[in-house]
Amino acid sequence: MTLTQKLINDGNATVDEMLTGVMAAHGDLLQRPSPRAIVARHGPRPGKVALVIGGGSGHEPTFLGFVGRGLADAAAVGNVFASPPPQPCVDAAMAADGGAGVLFMYGNYAGDVMNFDMATELLEMEGIEARTVLTTDDIASAPEVAMRRGVAGNVFIFKAAGAAADLMLPLDEVERVARHANARTYTMGVALSACSLPQTRRPNFDLPGGEMEIGMGIHGEPGVRRGPLQSANEVADEIMDALLAEMQAPTGAKVAVLVNSLGSTPLMELYIVFARVAERLAGAGLQVHRALVGPYCTSMEMAGASITLMHLDDELTGLLDHPCHCAMFRQG
């Protein structure tokens, strides 16, 4: 069996070489205080809550692409699909700290929780208060919300919390906003192919041609249903049915929508999916206030897509509309 075609040097060095490239390309916006910590040049400032995000690599532009004024102040960067260890989380937090406390936000995965919790203990010793809000937007990943994974919805959830922090709200408020944003964000995805870790260059699961897996996680964690590949409209309908049932939004409500590529699914297909999503939302009497279409939370070269809905209220609408200037995400 042939190895996945990747344009890399050393499979064990991909993350560090990527970061070298990121700094070479975006040194005007980003700093790298320690090897696996990326900090916004123009975000952190005295009196401001530091929003620190992070997680495994391989999801670019998530996480480091969302570091910048108006969004996250810093990101801790793990190996591919692996939580960062505590040290980079501490380094990112200390570099971003403005004396108003630190909010860690990341997807709800066992490894991330253990590492960021250790970082929180270490920060305590430095006299820095760090709190945590886990994202749990993947409705396919578990029945109970608390067990769910955080996936593409991170974009909206981090954006809302980042705007609150940029508006100089205190830690209690930024934390409240973050939990509120997470509670109103719903994502479900479909995988059409596997991706491969750069160290092994072998598909991390096998999905025979002609099949798809609904609800697959962004690390290839098995999903809820495997079956023959269906049309874009059928897939969008299955996902929208689930999202709308979870969201329970009254007609007239406003939503933000993200149709996200897991990697190799091109914009053409995402817009075909978006066309159906827009139809379904109109049918449900919901208004699209903001639409993102593109690769925002990927699994390297995995084929597939996810749909995220954020159920907006006036507060979240204002926060999503707030400008941000990140290396890989620009608004306002």
Partner 1 sequence: MAFTTQHLADLFAALAARMAAERDMLCALDGAIGDADHGIAMQQGMHAAQAAVAALTDPTLQDQFNAAAKGFLNAVGASSGPLYATALLRAGKVAGAQAAMPVGETPLLIMAMAEGIVHRGKAEVGQKTMVDAWAPAAQAAREGASFAEIAAAAEAGAQSTAQLVATLGRAARLGARSLGHPDPGAISAAMIIAEMTAAFARSATGGQT
Ligand X SMILES: Nc1ncnc2c1ncn2[C@@H]1O[C@H](COP(=O)(O)OP(=O)(O)O)[C@@H](O)[C@H]1O
Catalytic amino acids? 59, 219
CA distance 38 to 216: 29
Binds 301, which of ligand X, a copy of itself, partner 1, none (CB < 5 to 8 A, cut-off by type)? a copy of itself
The count of residues in the chain is 332
> Site size for ligand X, by CB under 6 A?
4
Q: How far is the CB of 85 from ligand X (least distance, A)?
A: 11
Q: Does 85 bind ligand X (CB under 6 A)?
A: no
Q: Does 35 bind a copy of itself (CB under 8 A)?
A: no
What's CA 326's distance to the chain center, in Å? Answer: 14
Nearer CB in complex with ligand X: 135/265: 135
Under the phi-then-psi rule, with left for phi > 0, alpha for psi from -120 to 50, and beta for the rest, what region is 189? beta
CA distance 327 to 304: 24
Binding mask 204-243 for a copy of itself (x = CB under 8 A): ----xxx-x----------------x-xxx-x--------
CA distance 128 to 287: 41
Among residues 76, 82, 96, 310, the one that binds ligand X under rule CB under 6 A: 82
Binding site for partner 1 (CB under 8 A): 12, 56, 78-87, 109-111, 114-115, 118, 141-142, 147-149, 197, 199-200, 202, 204-205, 217, 219-222
Cross-strand bridge partners of residue 190 = 214, 305
Nearer CB in complex with partner 1: 197/273: 197
Whether the Cβ atoms of residue 296 and residue 155 lie closer than 8 Å to each other: yes
Containing 55, the helix (H) or strand (E) segment is strand 50-57
Whether the Cβ atoms of residue 326 and residue 66 lie closer than 8 Å to each other: yes
CA distance 77 to 74: 10
DSSP assignment, residue 102?
E
Q: Which of residues 171-200 bind a copy of itself (CB under 8 A)?
A: 190, 192-193, 198
Among residues 7, 24, 110, 146, the one that binds ligand X under rule CB under 6 A: 110
CA distance 202 to 196: 5
Among residues 7, 110, 125, 146, the one that binds a copy of itself under rule CB under 8 A: 7
Binding mask 265-304 for a copy of itself (x = CB under 8 A): xxxxxxxxxxx--x---------x--x-xxx--x-xx-xx
Among residues 33, 111, 170, 203, the one that binds ligand X under rule CB under 6 A: 111
Q: Which of residues 57-86 bind Mg ion (CB under 5 A)?
A: 81-82
DSSP assignment, residue 82?
S
Containing 188, the helix (H) or strand (E) segment is strand 185-191
Instruction: Name the residue with the smallest CB distance to Mg ion.
Output: 81
> Site size for a copy of itself, by CB under 8 A?
65
Q: In what order do the strands lie in the sheet with 37-40?
A: 30-34, 37-40, 74-80, 50-57, 102-107, 130-135
Task: Collect all residues with Cβ–Cβ distance below 8 Å to 60 and sequence separation of at least 6.
Answer: 18, 298, 328
User: Tokens in use for 309?
Assistant: 């809905």
Question: Interface with ligand X by CB under 6 A: which residues?
Answer: 82-83, 110-111
Question: Interface with a copy of itself by CB under 8 A: which residues?
Answer: 2-3, 5-9, 14-15, 17-22, 24-26, 57-58, 60-61, 65, 80, 190, 192-193, 198, 208-210, 212, 229, 231-233, 235, 263-275, 278, 288, 291, 293-295, 298, 300-301, 303-305, 328, 330-331
Question: Interface with Mg ion by CB under 5 A: which residues?
Answer: 81-82
